[in-house]
Amino acid sequence: MMMGGSWLFGGLQTAKLAFKWNVELWPGNKISPGSGGNLWAIPAGSKNKAMAYDFIDITLSKSIQTLMGNAGGLPINADTSQITDPQVKQFNQLFSDLVSSDGIGFYPDWPVSGYYNDLVSATQELMNGTKTPTAFLDEIAAPYNAAVKK
């Protein structure tokens, strides 16, 4: 089991792994860490505003977003009926389910710098059985509590 995010999906697809793998949401969670993605911004003083608007229009077009979906990305404007890979379809459906249920929360390292690494490390030990649930909770609480005190 590996804790990760959507950014790992494309790499896993092309890695030619010697085992079958799947992407799932954490069991029982109603909220999963996520993001609204990369937000486009055009500076007020830009000398090439029209070109920037064209670029945004192109990258967010249904055809480009569908290409992105077929490449293992999480498009926001794709024709999902044109996504052909079953794993990619399932991946996009999980994301769609999170969006429709208002289930996307903040990434854990937003409130605490480096917290994602702390979570991954502690979670791996919990799954390996080398850390008890209590020790896991203590370990992930320590950096968060230290940051809150600052």
Please report, for residues 45, 55, 61, the alpha-carbon distance to residue 50 in angstroms, rounded to integers and kept in the order given. Answer: 12, 9, 16
SS3 of residue 104 by DSSP = strand
**Of residues 44 and 112, more confidently modeled:** 44
What is the reported pLDDT for 36? Answer: 60
Residue labelled with tokens 């896991």: 136
Percent of the chain with pLDDT over 70: 95
Q: Name the residue among 35, 20, 30 with its Cα closest to residue 86.
A: 20
pLDDT digits (tens, 9 = 90+) for 119-147: 889 999 999 999 999 999 999 999 989 88
The DSSP element (H or E) to which 63 belongs, if any, is: helix 62-70
Q: Is 58 exposed, middle or buried (0-12, 13-18, 19+ CB in 10 A)?
A: exposed
d(CA 122, CA 124): 5
Kindly report, residue by residue over 31-54, the tens digit of the pLDDT. Answer: 887 766 667 889 999 999 999 999
